[in-house]
């Protein structure tokens, strides 16, 4: 079968390589020129490319299953497997320390070496429609015929939007964030961690995270309410530096005697939680012969580092359906849509509830006992009621859907109804942090760009 893929991010590369390995003729088209040896890969089409990424073990597992050469290359480029686990239990793989750039370089190189996979540089202008079905793509004005068209153009892809609105839930979640990449100096020990992969602090009005990458590099992320103007200027280096020095935990990680910044502060846009079906509101396929995968189906905020996992799992689900049937592509797409409704949508809905509620609490609202408890509050309740963790393992590892954590909701609800609230991590509140930011700007004469 001739397959045209719009976009060569994680979805387009992984799916394209796996389908080419099965003998299909795959062309992936991406507007990005690709990396140049040695130089930083700018990758302007993917705004989160240089932002903090954590790689769950599910990502390496999916690579091993479908594109094992990418796994080999990823390790060769420096990805560091992290092993660990609860005290007394056998150690298991917890994930990989890596920059997103390192991951994508490996996947791209492995895909491009796969016989039957072609990566073309170009802009997909439109999907060709013939006899009521997708028949290829228009690339920079020229037609490219295909039996199946895959839209892997990411969360902001626009090219297929003119075909009509898809059924969707979610949108911007009211959170924004900044982050910055650092590197530990030779001999410097890492700062505090709450898990083998990350450190997290839940402060009064904001969230701070540290994700470790390869070769001593790490990203510090601060997520805040989008409407919180007082923290907006954290995007200025001097303000971010002052914030780092004032937040316990981050002060250790970013101590200038132990770590050096590798980038300026990277300002991210508003964060999204969106699920989009293959179908329009009235349940019809957008266009038979056209399938959506990756972030163009399910986008979640980076708070739990789930995006690449949900992306690769979608590709695997589609591959498995195509392994059984390449004649009834509309039927395959409907079956894939039904799978995504059952397995992808719950993760997005989990984030919609959790991130939206967190933003409301940052702005001063109490725990809402009239609504379902968000997953983060159920997990925090385990500090008082450890039996909650019996329902949490599958959810945390993404081995069970978010509904599995709901079993523990009554226990958590009882605790919150009794007045208990999780303590904030020790450190400045958002109002105090905003004061630090304002002071740093005025004392250094820095102005937001």
Ligand X SMILES: Cc1cc2nc3c(=O)[nH]c(=O)nc-3n(C[C@H](O)[C@H](O)[C@H](O)COP(=O)(O)OP(=O)(O)OC[C@H]3O[C@@H](n4cnc5c(N)ncnc54)[C@H](O)[C@@H]3O)c2cc1C
Question: For binding to ligand X (CB under 6 A), which residues are involved?
Answer: 6-12, 29-32, 45-46, 48, 51-54, 123-124, 152-154, 157, 159, 268, 294-295, 302, 305-309, 311
The least CB distance from residue 22 to ligand X, in Å, is: 20
The least CB distance from residue 176 to ligand X, in Å, is: 10
Nearer to ligand X, 107 or 412 (CB): 107
- Ramachandran angles phi, psi of 94, nearest 5°: -100, -10
The least CB distance from residue 220 to ligand X, in Å, is: 13
Alpha-carbon distance of 238 to 261, in angstroms, equals 12
Nearer to ligand X, 270 or 283 (CB): 270
- Ramachandran angles phi, psi of 417, nearest 5°: -65, -30
Helix 57-66 vs helix 68-76: crossing angle, to nearest 10: 130
Nearer to ligand X, 135 or 149 (CB): 149
Place of tokens 């002052």: 242
The least CB distance from residue 59 to ligand X, in Å, is: 6
Strand partners, 26: 3, 117
Under a CB-based contact definition with an 8 Å cutoff, are residues 441 and 233 in contact?
yes
Alpha-carbon distance of 146 to 154, in angstroms, equals 20
Residue-wise DSSP of 300-357: --GGG--HHHHHHHHHHHHHHHHHH-SS-HHHHHHHHHHHHHHHTHHHHHHHHHHHHH
DSSP classification of residue 282: T
The least CB distance from residue 435 to ligand X, in Å, is: 27
Identify which of 252, 242, 199 has the alpha carbon closest to the alpha carbon of residue 432: 242
Nearer to ligand X, 206 or 416 (CB): 206
The least CB distance from residue 213 to ligand X, in Å, is: 11
The least CB distance from residue 414 to ligand X, in Å, is: 33
- Ramachandran angles phi, psi of 374, nearest 5°: -70, 155
- Cα-Cα-Cα-Cα dihedral sign, residues 21, 293, 43, 215: negative
Nearer to ligand X, 52 or 329 (CB): 52
Nearer to ligand X, 253 or 304 (CB): 304
Token digits for 44? 């302007």
Nearer to ligand X, 313 or 416 (CB): 313
């Amino acid at each position: 079968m001739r397959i045209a893929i719009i976009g060569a991010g994680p979805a387009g590369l992984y799916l394209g390589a796996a389908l080419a390995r099965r003998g299909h003729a795959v062309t992936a088209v991406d507007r990005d020129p690709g990396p140049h040896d040695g130089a930083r890969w700018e990758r302007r089409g993917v705004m989160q490319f240089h932002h903090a990424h954590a790689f769950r073990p599910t990502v390496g597992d999916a690579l091993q299953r479908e594109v094992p050469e990418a796994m080999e290359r990823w390790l060769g480029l420096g990805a560091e497997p992290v092993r660990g686990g609860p005290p007394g239990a056998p150690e298991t793989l917890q994930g990989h320390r890596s920059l997103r750039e390192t991951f994508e370089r490996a996947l791209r190189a492995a895909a491009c070496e796969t016989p039957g996979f072609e990566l073309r540089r170009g802009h997909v202008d439109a999907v060709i429609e013939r006899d009521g079905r997708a028949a290829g793509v228009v690339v920079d004005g020229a037609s490219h015929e295909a039996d199946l068209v895959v839209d892997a153009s990411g969360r902001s892809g626009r090219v297929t939007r003119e075909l009509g609105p898809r059924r969707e839930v979610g949108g911007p979640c009211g959170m924004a964030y900044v982050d910055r990449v650092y590197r530990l100096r030779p001999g410097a020990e890492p700062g505090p961690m709450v898990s083998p992969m990350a450190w997290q602090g839940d402060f009064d009005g904001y969230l701070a995270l540290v994700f470790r990458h390869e070769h001593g590099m790490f990203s510090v992320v601060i997520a805040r309410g989008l409407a919180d103007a007082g923290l907006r200027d954290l995007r200025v280096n001097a303000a971010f530096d002052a914030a780092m020095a004032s937040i316990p935990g981050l002060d250790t990680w970013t101590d200038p005697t132990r770590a050096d910044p590798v980038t300026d502060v990277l300002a991210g846009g508003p964060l999204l939680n969106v699920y989009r079906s293959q179908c329009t509101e009235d349940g019809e396929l957008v266009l038979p012969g056209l399938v959506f995968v990756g972030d163009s189906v399910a986008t979640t905020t980076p708070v739990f580092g789930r995006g690449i996992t949900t992306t690769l799992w979608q590709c695997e689900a589609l591959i498995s359906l195509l392994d059984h049937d390449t004649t009834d592509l509309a039927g395959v797409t409907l079956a894939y849509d039904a799978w995504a409704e059952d397995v992808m949508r719950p993760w997005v809905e989990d984030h919609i509830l959790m991130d939206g509620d967190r933003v409301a609490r940052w702005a001063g609202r109490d725990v809402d006992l009239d609504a379902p408890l968000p997953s983060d509050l159920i997990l925090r309740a385990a500090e008082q009621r450890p039996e909650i963790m019996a329902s949490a393992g599958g959810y945390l590892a993404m081995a069970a859907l978010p509904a599995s954590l709901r079993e523990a909701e009554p226990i958590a609800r009882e605790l919150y109804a009794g007045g208990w609230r999780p303590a904030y991590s020790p450190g400045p509140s958002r109002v105090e942090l905003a004061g630090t930011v304002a002071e740093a700007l005025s004392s250094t004469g820095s102005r937001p760009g």
